[in-house]
Structure 1
Amino acid sequence: MASNNSFLWQSNFRIINDRVILVQVLICVFLCINLFLITTFFLKDYFHTTMRYVLFVVTLFSDCLFLIMTDMLLILNYFSLTIQMWLCLIIYIILSVYTLVTPLTLTAMVLERYVAICMPLRHAELCTTHKTVHLILIIHSLSSVPSIVIISIFFATASLTLYTTGRTCSAEMFSTYQWQEHLRSAISQFYFMIMCMIIIFSYVQIMKVAKAASGNNKKSTWRGLRTVILHAFQLLLCLIQLWCPFIENVVLQTDLMLFINIRYFNYVTFILAPRCLSPLIYGLRDDLFFQAVRYYALSGLYKKQLLG
């Protein structure tokens, strides 16, 4: 019986280990793709002055940072490594901010498409480089509000000796009471409710223009509409991510192995997947950006062949 339990434990450990390796491979692949797209953005001057491309590269930076930080926590938790609370606090603040930066930036990109399609005469006035910088600052400020609230409450309740205590880092460590979890969830749900309302409003308005348009304008409008739908799908996956901790906490009380399986599934589906869709939506579907990507990719291969 003991040998069977030992074999089962080793089998489970191997499965989990394979999953961790798979996550590392996926993250490395997506980081390489994102870094290549970021390089493409900086190599072409036109992208620097166009709002949608600037916002696109902001999502790429946000996703890269988020993937690196979450992967670091995954490895720390997998090997049960402890870090001091002050370092965990910094990691939590960064993750808390950049959990919202991507969906808020996606919402801003939807609004940019709304202005471009429904208010074309005002697009050049409203979507300048100067206003894009202001918009990015607003996005990061709004993304910081939930973490400021949670951390302020934590500072008020935690003792000074706690900051030098070594623990396994997780977001739950900063919620001493159950109502803090509910407050964090309520703030996030409020953000996503506003974002969903903006998405629906933009979709309806673009749909009206699409029905009234004709010829090339109709084709361009329907393409913009499909982009809005893809952004809405990304936001839906991000929204589901907020419900995952509640499901995981319930499962943890009943079955540890099921908890591990569900947490892995949630991480891949609702954390990795939404942040891997951005390169597909804008990096490949946008004709101008795709042409630049293809040009620099082929130039790199050509130079490599010459050097070879």
Structure 2
Amino acid sequence: MADNNSLVGGQPLLRKLNYRVILVQVLVTLFLYINFLLITTFFMKHFFYTTMRYIFFANTLVSDCLILIFTNTLLIMSYFPFTIQTWLCLIIYIVLSLYTFVTPVTLTAMTLERFVAICMPLRHAELCSTRRALHCILIIHGLSSIPCIVFLSVFFASATHSFYSQDRICSVEAFTIHRWQGHLRSAISQFYFSIMFITIVISYIKIMKVAKAASGENKKSTWKGLRTVILHAFQLLLCLIQLWCPVIEAAILQIDFMLYIDVRYFNYITFILVPRCLSPLIYGLRDDKFFLALKYYALCGLYKKKSYDFSS
């Protein structure tokens, strides 16, 4: 009994959890700082906020920031048991549910923009204008809200009025009253991600055909676009695996609580934090124009490069 207490209720477990929370805080703070710096750079140049691919990029940054802030809040509340009323938890759930889909749907839109730029260059200016980009942002949020609306409609039909005034530790599982609700959410999510993954694969195949036929500078630009699509596919794959995490964690919880804690921590780092740090890598550091602008503004204008036109 003494050994069990030391593992589950004693100080060693508390220190272990606290170390993990501190590590997550460091990572989240770092990613948020980088994202806010990228968002600031985006708004500093007219060229960025009038170009479709950079508008989509900024949309993923905002989405990722909201995901990081809210998931980190839930993490802290679960590690240091802090209860809130269900209606407030419901608001947090709506934001998380919406922006869990906004990022991958935007990734798919960014892939299609690269497809148009490489495979249909003569129509790129027409199809990828600033006005169309803003319309696409609205469509992205509309498509992303459908799973949340469906799931919440089922939840509202099942929950009693007293449920909303209860105090509880906020989690996604709090709104899954019946097991089939979890299956419904998973089915809708799998359908969405299957469509998005197929879209990215088809775009990859089309771009690859153009890359093989291109030459000179066009070939170099095309292969760079192809690598971007591959990174989008990898990022989307991590988001897809994230959907299976609650199912796996629920099964492990029935077997071993300590293993459940370890697996849940690993899933949070690998499938929530890591995909959110790939967006800055794909467009913030690999894109030459954005990287030079970021370097310029990050160093308060001390860095200048003659080959870069800051007036564009």
TM-score range, shorter chain: over 0.9
Identity of aligned residues (%): 69
Could you tell me which runs of 5 or more consecutive residues in structure 2 were left unpaired when the two chains were aligned. 304-312
Q: What are the Cα deviations for residues 71-110 of structure 1, in whole angstroms up to 9, with x where unaligned?
A: 0000111111111010011000100000000000011000
- Retained in 2: the 8 A contact 1:150–1:174? no
Moved >4 Å (runs of 4+): 4-7
Task: Give the CA deviation at 1:14.
Answer: 0.9
In the alignment, residue 212 of structure 1 is paired with which amino acid?
Answer: A
The question of whether the paired residues in 1 share the 8 Å contact of 2:102 and 2:141 is answered with yes
TM-score by length of 1: 0.96
3-state DSSP of counterpart to 1:176: coil
- For 1:158 and 1:48, locate their aligned partners in 2 and report how far apart those are by CA, in whole Å: 43
Q: Secondary structure at the match of 2:134?
A: helix
Q: C-alpha separation between the residues in 1 aligned to 2:158 and 2:247?
A: 23
- Structure 1 position 234 matched with structure 2 position 227: no
Q: Which amino acid is 1:233 matched to?
A: F
Q: Deviations over 1:250-282 (max 9, x none)?
A: 100010000000000000000110011100110
Q: Does structure 2 conserve the Cα–Cα contact (< 8 Å) formed by 1:238 and 1:274?
A: yes
Query: Unaligned stretches of 5+ in structure 1?
Result: 303-308
Amino acid at match of 1:228: V
Matches of 1:227 and 1:89, distance apart in 2: 36
* More divergent stretch after superposition (237-246 vs 174-183): 174-183
Partner of 1:127: 128
**1:284 & 1:221 partners in 2: Cα distance?**
18
Helix, strand or coil: the match of 2:47?
helix
**Count of equivalent residues:** 301
More helix by share: 1
Contact (CA 8 Å) 1:81, 1:168: kept in 2 or not?
Answer: yes
Q: How much is the aligned-residue C-alpha RMSD, in angstroms?
A: 1.1
In the TM superposition, 1:207-286 aligns within 5 A as 207-286=208-287
Cα distance between partner residues in 2 of 1:133 and 1:57:
12
User: Are the counterparts in 1 of residues 32 and 65 from structure 2 also a CA contact under 8 Å?
Assistant: yes
Give the structure-2-normalised TM-score: 0.94
AA at the equivalent of 2:22: I
Does structure 1 retain, via aligned residues, the 8 Å contact 2:296–2:302? no
Distance 2:138 2:6 in 1: 54
Instruction: Measure how far apart 1:299 and its partner are.
Output: 2.1
In structure 1, what is the equivalent of residue 109 of structure 2?
108
Give the direction of change, closer, same or farther, for the CA distance of 1:156–1:6 in structure 2 (3 Å limit): closer
- Name the amino acid aligned to 1:52: R
Report the Cα distance in structure 1 between the residues aligned to 2:229 and 2:246, rounded to whole angstroms: 28
Q: Is the 8 A contact 1:69 1:91 kept in 2?
A: yes
Q: Distance in 1 between matches of 2:246 and 2:14?
A: 23
How far off is 1:10 after superposition? 1.6
CA-CA distance at 1:172 after TM superposition? 1.3
Contact 2:74/2:170 (8 A) holds in 1: yes
In structure 2, the residue matched to 1:178 is 179
Q: What is the CA-CA distance between 1:298 and the residue it aligns to?
A: 2.1
Paired residue secondary structure (1:94) = helix
Is residue 2:193 matched to residue 1:188?
no
3-state SS, counterpart of residue 300 of structure 2: helix
The aligned amino acid for 1:205 is: K
